[in-house]
């Protein structure tokens, strides 16, 4: 990690202050590239408002709003600001709800028209519950609230409803815009490239209507929009200030040259070229390293990857490149989780949870990647940590866990009875450690049978319902289920979505129970961030000393990305050409932004490995290509690695 020294305000910070201090308020856009400390600038801007106008604004019962992308980011910004009632820091959804909540009559009218639309789109059976919801709207006592899922009959709006409703209301009701501007005379938006375009437009509309009395500031980097729903580059009115934050405090010189070159080719560069931010007292320029390797996609790519890491170790005199390390020292970035699973060896688990399709398949995939799905949690939160404690011969921790986890211990109040039980529990725990060892040959079903049958853990009710459908689990019928872990209220689930969920879960559970238990250990370490592999999308916002980016189009199933097209090694398709002509987002451009995000994570050394079916042709083309982000001398082929000793 870069050291945190005393931070002087940058030129961009000064420009932001000027905008904030002006007597006539105006909008502004801050374009800040990777590693520029854009959140630092945003927090500084908020603090500045606090110092200059805080008391007056609070006296008028007004607040400054800061909108950011995730709950984690909200907490981080709140932490940095310390508790100050002047600031309302929230995600976009909470902000929109806060704005509209007092206007229950507006919500009622909007819902009326939305429900009518929903009825019109459905046949009689599927529309019946909306007819009921419409009738409920006649109840003057019905109060509307915001929940994670929609349930119009109960007056609950979900995330997406709020996101649709409030911008629409702001556009329709001029009064609402005026009230927002009075209540929040300044709204600052972090990560604006990922903000929903409807929200951006609504804020722009408020600014236009209330010009001079309302300040909206967008902080972001259009080059780092890697999710499809974001606004990207914010269109600024000509009265607005456009501020570019040029410094990059993270990347060493050679890495910076690479990312600047990637950026320069993009229409989303925001006309920004980054320069290395120089910390006070820093004497020598830190050049770091940035290398590109072009290798064959045929044969054992893992062996070649090891050679690359050994080569870097030797060339950079840096053992950490070749040693498997944990944490921030080294990250290997793949395009898809599937590719990490392939390399690390948990493909069966991956296949069980990564089904194609939207609906519940998408939710299952997300929860698998986050490690939060109820079917995986017995392993991730309970069984693997218990086995790790047993493996480390940490009896005290293991016993403490069993006290918490085992229904057998929980039911005993009597000390003697508990003591009598311990040897049996110890044996059961030891057997669990054997069958869930890294070299275990049994299946997930076998481990669950033992863990549940011997009462080491309690049973999740959703898991119970599924296990009962599988052979050898009839004994779970008699087991009591965990309290407080009941299935979430399915809320607005329709018949179709229930059926979809049933099918997806059934398929996933059958495959999951048949998975080798040893793969769960690897998946556990992966999800917990203990292994060097991570996805290119997953590292946004993070930084690591050594970053190795894998470009392997041949192995990827995701045709939305193509590194070979980006690097000019593969022809564009007819639809790419059409999209380029129509100024729509297209594969090479989407790939460029992801490549920029990936490469800009390195604080010390960057290596990119391209696996291609024509390594010789690609090597020559890239060395001759003036647009290649890496200088010719830093583009290596198999010959460069040949002299390296292969790993034992
Ligand atoms: N003014 C500054 N002086 C010195 N170091 C800074 C300054 N601002 C940020 N940094 C450091 O620079 C690095 C990058 O900052 P940060 O991660 O906040 O950037 P960012 O704009 O969010 O980057 P990205 O968009 O790539 O995620 C961090 O290590 C941070 O501590």
- Give the tens place of pLDDT for each residue, 161-188: 999 999 999 888 889 999 999 999 999 9
What's the CA-to-centroid distance between 107 and ligand 1, angstroms?
Answer: 41
pLDDT of residue 543: 93
In the prediction, which pLDDT does 240 show?
96
Q: What is the residue with the minimal CA distance to atom 22 of ligand 1? A: 37
The pLDDT assigned to 150 comes to 82
Taking the CA atoms of residue 279, residue 282, residue 284 and residue 287 in that order, the dihedral angle to the nearest 10 degrees is -30
Give the residues across from 289 on adjacent strands: 605
Whole-number Å distance, alpha carbon 249 to ligand 1 midpoint, is 6
Cα Rg for the chain, rounded, in angstroms?
28
Q: Is 108 exposed, middle or buried (0-12, 13-18, 19+ CB in 10 A)?
A: middle
Distance 250 CA to ligand 1 centre (A): 6
- The three state secondary structure string of 497-515 is HHHHHHHHHHHHHHHHHCC
Q: What is the pLDDT of residue 1?
A: 39
| 64: pLDDT strictly greater than 60 | yes
Is 535 known as a binding-site position? no
Residue nearest to atom 12 of ligand 1 (CA): 249
Closest CA relative to residue 501, chosen from 443, 447, 542, 462:
462
Average pLDDT estimate for 58-73? 93
Residue 315's pLDDT band, with cuts at 50, 70 and 90, is very high
> Separation of 248 CA from ligand 1 center, angstroms?
7
Name the nearest CA neighbour of 222 among 603, 626, 628, 585.
585
Q: What is the mean pLDDT of the chain?
A: 90
Looking at residue 397, what is its pLDDT? 94
Q: Give the residue, by CA position, lying nearest to ligand 1 atom 27.
A: 541
Asked if the model's pLDDT at residue 225 lies above 50, the reply is yes
- Among 147-151, 289-293, 294-298, the minimum mean pLDDT is found in 147-151
Q: What angle do CA 445, 448, 451 make, to 5 degrees?
A: 150
CA dist 39 and 76 (Å) reads: 10
Closest to 42 in 3D by CA, of 226, 156, 189: 189
pLDDT in tens, 540-588: 889 999 999 999 999 888 889 999 999 999 999 999 999 999 989 999 9
Helix axis angle, 104-121 to 124-136, nearest 10°: 170
Query: pLDDT tens digit string along 466-514?
Result: 999 999 999 999 898 887 544 444 445 666 777 888 999 999 999 999 9
At 486 the pLDDT is 45
Could you report the per-residue pLDDT of 399-442, keeping only the tens digit for each? 999 988 998 886 555 677 777 788 899 999 999 999 999 999 99
Output the residue whose Cα is nearest ligand 1's atom 25.
Answer: 34
| Pair type for strands 635-636 and 87-91 | unpaired
Residue with CA nearest ligand 1 atom 3: 7
Is the separation of the CB atoms in 31 and 193 below 8 Å? no
Please choose from 5, 7, 36 the residue to mutate so as to test ligand 1's pocket, defined by most ligand atoms within 8 A of CB. Answer: 36
In three-state secondary structure terms, 364 is: helix
Helix (H) or strand (E) holding 87: strand 87-91
In the prediction, which pLDDT does 497 show? 74
Residue 403 confidence (pLDDT): 87
Whether 340 has a binding-site annotation, put simply, is no
Looking at the predicted structure, is the pLDDT value of residue 456 above 70? yes
Q: Ligand 1 centre from 232 Cα, in Å?
A: 20
User: Per residue in 607-648, pLDDT tens?
Assistant: 999 999 999 999 999 999 999 999 999 999 999 987 655 554
Residue nearest to atom 11 of ligand 1 (CA): 249
Q: Which residues pair with 66 in a beta bridge?
A: 89, 188
SS3 content of the chain, % helix, strand, coil (to 5): 50, 15, 35
End-to-end CA distance of the chain: 31
- The atom of ligand 1 lying closest to the CA of 543 is 17
From 2, 16, 40, 45, mutation site for ligand 1 pocket: most ligand atoms within 8 A of C-beta: 40
Whether the complex's predicted ipTM surpasses the cut of 0.90: yes
Determine whether the annotation assigns residue 33 to a binding site: yes
Q: Ligand 1 mean position to 596 CA, how many Å?
A: 16
pLDDT tens for 321-361 read 988 666 668 999 999 999 999 999 999 999 999 988 888 89
């Amino acid at each position: 990690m870069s050291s945190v020294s005393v931070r002087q305000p940058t030129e961009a910070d000064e420009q932001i202050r000027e905008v904030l201090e002006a007597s006539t308020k105006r909008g502004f856009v801050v374009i800040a590239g990777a590693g520029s400390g854009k959140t630092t600038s945003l927090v500084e801007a908020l603090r500045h408002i606090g110092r200059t106008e805080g008391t007056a604004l609070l006296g008028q019962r007004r607040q400054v709003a800061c909108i950011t992308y995730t709950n984690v980011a909200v907490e981080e910004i709140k932490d940095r600001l310390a508790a100050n009632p002047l600031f309302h820091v929230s995600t976009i959804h909470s902000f929109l709800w806060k704005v509209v909540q007092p206007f229950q009559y507006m919500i009622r009218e909007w819902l009326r028209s939305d429900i009518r639309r929903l009825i019109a789109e459905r046949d009689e059976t599927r529309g019946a519950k909306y007819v009921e919801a419409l009738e409920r709207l006649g109840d003057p006592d019905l109060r509307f609230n915001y929940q994670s899922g929609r349930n119009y009959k109960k007056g609950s709006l979900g995330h997406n409803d709020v996101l649709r409703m409030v911008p629409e209301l702001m556009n329709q009701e001029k009064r609402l815009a005026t009230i927002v501007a009075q209540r929040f005379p300044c709204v600052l938006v972090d990560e604006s490239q990922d903000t929903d375009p409807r929200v951006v437009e609504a804020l722009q509309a408020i600014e236009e209507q209330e010009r001079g009395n309302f300040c909206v500031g967008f902080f972001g980097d259009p080059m780092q929009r890697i999710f499809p729903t974001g606004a990207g580059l914010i269109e600024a009115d000509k009265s607005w200030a456009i501020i570019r934050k040029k410094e990059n405090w993270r990347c060493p010189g050679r890495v910076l040259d690479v990312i600047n070159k990637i950026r320069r080719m993009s229409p989303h560069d925001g006309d920004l070229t980054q320069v290395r931010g120089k910390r006070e007292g820093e004497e020598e320029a830190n050049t770091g390293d940035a290398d590109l390797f072009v290798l064959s996609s045929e044969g054992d790519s893992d062996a070649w990857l090891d050679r690359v890491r050994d080569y870097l170790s030797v060339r950079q005199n840096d053992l950490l490149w070749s040693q498997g390390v944990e944490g921030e020292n080294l990250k290997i970035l793949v395009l898809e989780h599937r590719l990490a699973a392939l390399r690390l060896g948990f493909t069966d688990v991956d296949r069980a949870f990564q089904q194609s399709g939207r609906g519940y398949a998408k939710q299952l995939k997300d929860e698998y990647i986050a490690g939060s799905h109820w079917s995986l949690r017995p392993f991730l939160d309970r069984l693997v940590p218990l086995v790790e404690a047993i493996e480390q011969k940490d009896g005290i921790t293991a016993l403490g866990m069993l006290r918490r986890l085992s229904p057998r211990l929980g039911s005993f109040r009597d000390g003697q009875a508990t003591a009598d039980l311990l040897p049996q529990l110890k044996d059961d725990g030891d057997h669990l450690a054997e069958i869930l060892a890294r070299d275990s040959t049994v299946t997930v079903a076998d481990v669950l049978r033992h863990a549940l049958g011997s009462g080491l853990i309690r049973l999740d009710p959703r898991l119970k319902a599924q296990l009962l459908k599988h052979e050898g689990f009839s004994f779970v019928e008699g087991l009591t289920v965990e309290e407080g872990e009941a299935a979430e209220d399915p809320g607005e689930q329709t018949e179709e979505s229930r059926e979809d969920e049933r099918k997806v879960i059934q398929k996933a559970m059958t495959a999951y129970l048949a998975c080798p238990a040893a793969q769960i250990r690897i998946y556990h370490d992966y999800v917990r961030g203990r292994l060097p592999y991570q996805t290119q999308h997953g590292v946004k916002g993070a930084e690591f000393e050594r970053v190795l980016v894998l470009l392997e189009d041949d192995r990827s199933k995701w045709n939305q990305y193509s590194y070979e097209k980006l690097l000019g090694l593969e022809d564009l398709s007819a639809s790419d050409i059409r999209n380029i002509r129509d100024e729509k987002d297209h594969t090479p451009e989407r790939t460029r932004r992801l490549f920029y995000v990936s490469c800009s994570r390195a604080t010390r050394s960057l290596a990119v490995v391209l696996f291609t079916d024509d390594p010789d042709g690609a090597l020559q083309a890239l060395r001759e290509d003036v647009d290649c982000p890496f200088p010719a001398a830093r583009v290596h082929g198999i010959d460069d690695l040949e002299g390296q000793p292969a790993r034992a």
